[in-house]
Amino acid sequence: MIQRIQSIYLLLTAGISGGLIFVFHLWKTLENTLFFAKDEILYFGLFLASAVLALGTIFLYKNRKLQFVLGRLNIILNLILLGLFVYRSLNLSGETDVSEKGIGILIPIFSIVFLVLANKAIKKDEDLVKSVDRLR
C-beta of residue 105 within 8 angstroms of C-beta of residue 85: yes
The whole-angstrom separation of Cα 118 and Cα 129 is: 17
In a domain? residue 136: no
Q: Identify the domain containing residue 33 by its residue range.
A: 5-130
User: In which residue ranges of the chain is pLDDT below 70?
Assistant: 1-2, 91-99, 135-136
In a domain? residue 29: yes
Average pLDDT value over all residues in the chain:
86
Q: In sequence order, what E strands does 1-125 have?
A: 27-29, 34-35, 98-101
In a domain? residue 36: yes
In a domain? residue 98: yes
Q: pTM of this prediction?
A: 0.87
In a domain? residue 75: yes
User: How many separate domains does the chain show?
Assistant: 1
In a domain? residue 68: yes
Cα dist. 133→10, 60, 125 in Å? 27, 21, 12
Contacts of 127 (CB under 8 A, 6+ apart): none
Residue 28 DSSP one-character state: E
Tens-digit pLDDT profile for residues 48-60: 999 999 999 999 8
